[in-house]
Structure 1
Amino acid sequence: MDNKDITTLIEILKHKRREDLSSLLKESLSEVEQSTQYGSRWNSVISSFLIFAPLDNYYKLKDLEEKDKKIILDSILEIYPIADGLPEITLMEFRILREEYRNKELATYVGRTVRVFVSYSTEDKKFAGELKQQLEELGLEVFIAHEDINPSSDWQETILNNLKSTDIFMPVMTKNFHVSFWTDQESGIAFGEEKFIMPIAVDGVVPYGFLGKFQAYRQNSENPINVCEIIEAVIKGSPDFSSPLLDSLIKSFANSHTYDSAGSRSTLLLKFTEMTAEQVNEIFRSVLQNGQIYEYRSANKNIKELFKKYKQLLDEKLLERVLDKEELSLKDV
């Protein structure tokens, strides 16, 4: 029982503009309870997602309308999608959090979340949506206007507020970009606010105007988006973002639900040249808790490199646990 999944669940609900639901999960813990029945995918098991909430919130959660409970369950399935090797969540249950667990100090890594504003023409909605999804999978908070604005909101004010609060402005520069009335305005505001700008130049489109002074990441529309390369370009373009980007990545690394995600995220961790003791300790706590990380050869190789470079920053007790983990084979590193 811990609050790592709850932390992710709260962020997802906030992205869905359901702060009313996310607030009910504060101070809660969760646990995935596996049954003895195999799931529909290879090496998956039918499971329940248990939410342990303080007494007041427990009753509020129990009394939610079915449509709101479904929103929470659907958000849980974004954390645990139906896939090979993952628990297959078919049920969500609310339970009362006992006082001894509520008062226990929780060691959840918070760090800072980097905000990204993706500017694009509506003609490129599919590309922008894929970019948003991949960036969010790496722990970043991403805003794209057509998905993230509540229909009842003053959409111009919402866009302006998100432009002002964003850390990175990422214009998707296709042949459609300059045709859009809003993209040029968004670009001008981002430039005026002195935001870090990382243009995504698609199919040879050359950034123009204010955007012409910024180094662009070049993307062929026929190739899959390589978001890890984009993050590398941001690190090189603005070293000031290295630490908060690393914070975001560490949180997503801890929640790696597949071998591939564990491998790609651990590879990206190696691109950072400096880490704090807190960041290093959180990485290795995640390694010990997540079988997708320590069981996968590619990720395990990267962990060895990280251990070799940063082992002197590990807490004494955590270092002992890491060395005792047979799957990691770090005693001779």
Structure 2
Amino acid sequence: MQRRFGYSEIDAFLAEFGISPPGNVSSNSKWVYSKVALSGVAEDVLLGIAAELDLISRGAGFASVTEPRNWIGTRLVRLFISHISKDKLKATRLKDCLLPYGISGFVAHEDIHPTLEWQSEIERALHTMDAFIAVHTPGFSASFWTQQEVGFAVGRGVKVISFKMGEDPTGFISKQQALARRDRSAEEIAKEIDQLLSEDPRTAERLKQAKASLAPSPQRDDIPF
């Protein structure tokens, strides 16, 4: 960091990982400043920082951290929520309603910090997700990006849920029975997603462990669904 950043840039970079600027540092060295800031930080967060700085060589005998920023250190089930940009608020609303069930959603338009390379963060989420949900709003099947995400999920063999919200699933996942929106609220849909994940052997045990680690958290209810 001392070679790449100034002091204010170090603070901004570390803030992305929830690390506050250090207090009084009796040195004019950015190396010392960074060392003090990182003192006591959890190992998984340090590895995430190292990966972001390209200090970890993936696949060469070194530790590999590929989680996106919002999943680093999580014990919850990691659910990739695939959606088109115009419906990001619907995806965010669903994400908020899933959290009480021990499910941490990844919504690209919300979870990627402006200073992080967006495509790399999406790839990290796809590589480390436990399950995948496609939010089939009108225009989903025409999106180049969402179709790539669907193909990635099918190729990895993770649990895939098709959520029909105005458009029928197409392609590889069209043969699966879709979860229908009907007139149900986001809370009701989240409950059914929880049920689907709890019944699938690929996610059941992880979901059980995730629920055991839960702490109460507030929900947002200001986004229409």
TM-score, scaled relative to structure 1: 0.42
In the alignment, structure 1 residue 140 sits paired with structure 2 residue 103? yes
**Cross-structure match for 1:177:** 140
Identity of aligned residues (%): 32
Q: Which consecutive segments of 4 or more residues in structure 1 shift more than 6 A? A: none
In the alignment, structure 1 residue 255 sits paired with structure 2 residue 212? no
Structure with the bigger percentage of helix: 1
Distance in 2 between residues matched to 1:125 and 1:154, nearest whole Å: 19
From the CA coordinates, give the structure whose radius of gyration is larger. Answer: 1
Letter in 2 for 1:20: I
**Cross-structure match for 1:127:** 90
**Cross-structure match for 1:216:** 178
C-alpha displacement of 1:112: 4.3
Q: Say if 1:188 and 1:139 are closer, same or farther in 2 by CA, change over 3 A.
A: same
C-alpha displacement of 1:209: 0.5
C-alpha displacement of 1:162: 0.8
SS of the residue corresponding to residue 192 of structure 2 reads helix
**Cross-structure match for 2:80:** 117
Please, which runs of 5 or more residues in structure 1 have no aligned partner?
A: 1-15, 22-58, 61-109, 259-333
Letter in 2 for 1:219: R
Is the 2:131–2:160 contact (alpha carbons within 8 Å) kept by the matching residues of 1? Answer: yes
Letter in 2 for 1:159: I
**Equivalent residue in structure 1 for 2:204, among 235, 238, 242:** 242
- Count how many residue pairs are aligned between Structure 1 and Structure 2: 154
**Cross-structure match for 2:163:** 200
TM-score, scaled relative to structure 2: 0.60
C-alpha displacement of 1:128: 0.4
Distance in 2 between residues matched to 1:256 and 1:128, nearest whole Å: 18
Give CA-to-partner distance per residue, 1:42-75, whole Å, 9 cap, x none: xxxxxxxxxxxxxxxxx97xxxxxxxxxxxxxxx
C-alpha displacement of 1:140: 1.9
Is the 2:106–2:125 contact (alpha carbons within 8 Å) kept by the matching residues of 1? Answer: yes
SS of the residue corresponding to residue 214 of structure 1 reads coil
C-alpha displacement of 1:171: 0.7
**Cross-structure match for 1:270:** none
SS of the residue corresponding to residue 141 of structure 2 reads helix
Distance in 1 between residues matched to 2:139 and 2:218, nearest whole Å: 36
Q: Say if 1:185 and 1:167 are closer, same or farther in 2 by CA, change over 3 A.
A: same
Is the 1:202–1:218 contact (alpha carbons within 8 Å) kept by the matching residues of 2? Answer: yes
SS of the residue corresponding to residue 178 of structure 1 reads coil
Structure with the bigger percentage of strand: 1
C-alpha displacement of 1:111: 9.7
Indicate the RMSD between aligned Cα atoms, in angstroms. 2.8
Distance in 1 between residues matched to 2:143 and 2:169, nearest whole Å: 14
Distance in 2 between residues matched to 1:123 and 1:143, nearest whole Å: 16
In the alignment, structure 1 residue 186 sits paired with structure 2 residue 140? no
**Cross-structure match for 1:30:** none
Q: Say if 1:178 and 1:248 are closer, same or farther in 2 by CA, change over 3 A.
A: same
SS of the residue corresponding to residue 130 of structure 1 reads helix
C-alpha displacement of 1:239: 2.4
C-alpha displacement of 1:257: 7.5
Between 1 and 2, higher relative CO (CA 8 Å, sep ≥ 6) is seen in 2
**Equivalent residue in structure 1 for 2:123, among 157, 160, 185:** 160
